[in-house]
Amino acid sequence: MSLAGYTAKQTKTSPIILVVEDELSVATSLSEALEDRGYQVVNAKDGISAVTTARQVKPAAVILDLGLPKQSGLDVLDRFRNDKALFAIPVIVLSEVESSVVLQRCTELGMSCYLAKSHSSLPKVLEKLAKIVPPPKK
Residue 98 in any domain: the answer is: yes
Segment 75-124, tens digit of pLDDT: 999 999 999 999 999 999 988 877 788 888 888 888 899 888 887 888 99
Residue 14 in any domain: the answer is: yes
Give the CATH number, domain containing residue 21.
Answer: 3.40.50.2300
pLDDT in the model for residue 81: 92
Judge whether 78 and 50 are in contact, CB under 8 Å: no
Q: Model confidence at 138, in pLDDT bands (50, 70, 90)? A: low
Judge whether 106 and 114 are in contact, CB under 8 Å: yes
Beta strands in 7-135 (DSSP E): 16-20, 40-44, 61-64, 91-95, 113-116
Residue 138 in any domain: the answer is: no
Residue 24 in any domain: the answer is: yes
Residue 76 in any domain: the answer is: yes
Least confident of 18-22, 72-76, 114-118, 131-135: 114-118
Number of independent structural domains in the chain: 1
Residue 137 in any domain: the answer is: no
Beta strands in the chain (DSSP E): 16-20, 40-44, 61-64, 91-95, 113-116
Residue 88 in any domain: the answer is: yes
Say if pTM beats, i.e. exceeds, 0.85: yes
pLDDT in the model for residue 12: 57
Q: Is the pLDDT of residue 133 over 50?
A: yes
Residue 5: Cβ within 10 Å count: 9
Segment 21-68, tens digit of pLDDT: 999 999 999 999 999 999 999 999 999 999 999 999 999 999 999 989
Judge whether 93 and 106 are in contact, CB under 8 Å: yes
What residues make up the domain containing 37? 3-132
